[in-house]
Every structure is written in structure tokens, then in C-alpha cells.
Amino acid sequence: MAKTFPAKYGEMVISKHNTAFGICPHHLLPVIYRVSVAYIPTERVLGLSKMSRLVRLLARGPRLQEDLTHELAEILFNKLESQGSAVYVEGLHMCMAARGVGAHEARLVTSAVRGVFLEIATREEFLKLVVTPHTTVL
Ligand SMILES: [Zn+2]
């Protein structure tokens, strides 16, 4: 695991709207991701820049958005030994964008939760904080 620090608070840590680039394994076309990740620490916290870096590293190369989403949730839960993790990913897939009218606006949304984020109140707090209307191309 990357560098961690002792946790002072058992509160939700969110790294929101990380942009990352990947490749759709079906069509080998680019995907632009907007990724928000969160976890609630037990003993260790991960630096914010490390969270962004983790997102970018895992997004790279041909892989399914669903796999990316679940792997991020898994790492932030199991490797970090947190109380729980949540991941929300919007993917702008060039293979979809190339398919004509309206489709260029379509984004694939995936999410995954582990641990305490399985509780509805915690999950809703996370989603309320990361899901915002689109104002940019992504
Ligand atoms: Zn595709």
C-alpha cells in the first residue's frame, strides 16, 4: 500500500471528481472517467494525492469500467483496512459517443460500496456529496 498516515478522525474522506483516462476493452477506444472515491478510516489514512494517483493508475489500459469501480472499492476497504469504502464512476465512452444522435451525451455510471457504506444513510451522504449536475464536457 502507498504511504499512509495515522487517522485522527473516523470521518468520511472523499476524493471527488478525479479525471482519469482508460480504454474500453471491447472497442479499444478511449474512455474519460470522472471518479469519486471515499472511505472511512479505521487506523490509517491515505494522502489525497495518493487517492488520485491510485485512480489514474487503475484506470489505465484496456479494462471494464465495472472492474475498475469494484477494484477501487476493494483496495480502499481491504488494503487500507478501512471501515468502508465507496466509489462512483461516470465514464464517457468514445465507442458510445461515436454512435450518433444523443449518444455523445451518454455516460456509463457505476458504483460500488463496501463495509459501512452498505448502510443506506452513509451511502446517501456519499452520493449527495459527489453526484452533481454536469457543467463540463465530462
Ligand atoms: Zn466500447
138 occurs within a structural domain: no
Overall pTM > 0.85:
yes
Confidence of residue 100 (pLDDT cuts 50, 70, 90): low
Taking the centre of ligand 1 as the mean of its atom positions, its distance from the CA of residue 112, in whole angstroms, is 21
Domain count, the chain: 1
CATH number at residue 92: 3.30.1130.10
What's the CA gap between 20 and 9, in Å, rounded? 29
Taking the centre of ligand 1 as the mean of its atom positions, its distance from the CA of residue 20, in whole angstroms, is 16
Taking the centre of ligand 1 as the mean of its atom positions, its distance from the CA of residue 89, in whole angstroms, is 16
Taking the centre of ligand 1 as the mean of its atom positions, its distance from the CA of residue 84, in whole angstroms, is 31
24 occurs within a structural domain: yes
Q: For the ranges 4-18, 32-46, 100-114, which has the lowest average pLDDT?
A: 100-114
100: DSSP letter: -
The separation between the first and the last C-alpha atoms of the chain, rounded to the nearest angstrom, is 30
- Tell me the β-bridge partners of 21: 32
Percentage, residues of the chain above pLDDT 90: 69
Average pLDDT value for the chain:
89
pLDDT at 107: 86
Domain range for 19? 4-130
Confidence of residue 110 (pLDDT cuts 50, 70, 90): very high
Taking the centre of ligand 1 as the mean of its atom positions, its distance from the CA of residue 62, in whole angstroms, is 10
Q: 94 φ, ψ to 5°?
A: -65, -30
Q: Which of 11, 7, 18 is nearest to 53 (CA)?
A: 18
pLDDT at 95: 86
What's the CA gap between 128 and 6, in Å, rounded? 27
77: DSSP letter: I
Residue of higher predicted confidence among 55 and 138: 55
Taking the centre of ligand 1 as the mean of its atom positions, its distance from the CA of residue 124, in whole angstroms, is 30
Taking the centre of ligand 1 as the mean of its atom positions, its distance from the CA of residue 96, in whole angstroms, is 7
64 occurs within a structural domain: yes
Taking the centre of ligand 1 as the mean of its atom positions, its distance from the CA of residue 97, in whole angstroms, is 10
Q: What tens digit of pLDDT does each residue of 40-62 get?
A: 999 888 888 899 999 999 999 89
